[in-house]
Amino acid sequence: MNVNEINALVLAYLGDAIYEIYIRKYLIQKGINKVNDLQKFAVNYVSAKSQASFLNYLIKNEILNEKELSIVKRARNAKVGSHPKRVDILTYKHATALEALIGYLYILNEEDRIKFIMDLITEEISNDSIW
């Protein structure tokens, strides 16, 4: 299977699940042990606004390589049928692009790279430096 032939929105669909698992694991490792609290905190980190901010952080700090940036651009420019009403389309497309990047790396079995990116994201969460 050629990962470059996979629809960018399909990569985002997969990446969304992987991203959510990393965030949930991070929150559990932080010692949050009540499901309601986990859900409350997780929503803040998996929201389109948060994901768009994280993607902008990765781009601004030149963390992504050329192939990764190519996937991000392909996903960001993909035609979406709809988006949540409470999120503007640009924010939604940036969030989708981050999810597609994670899905792309997962398909390629680039788990070390996913971990590196997610560690940066969770470090930013801890530092609240991008909020």
Instruction: Report the CATH number that the domain containing residue 89 is assigned in CATH.
Output: 1.10.1520.10
Residue whose pair of structure tokens reads 């990393």 in the numeric block: 22
In angstroms, the CA 78 to CA 72 distance is 10
Cβ pair 28, 38 in contact under 8 A: yes
| Ranges in the chain, pLDDT < 50 | 129-131
Q: What is the number of domains present in the chain?
A: 1
- Domain residues for 49? 3-127
Whether 88 is catalytic is no
Choice among 16, 88, 119, 128 that is catalytic: 16
CA–CA distances in Å: residue 92 to residues 2, 22, 99, 109: 26, 20, 11, 26
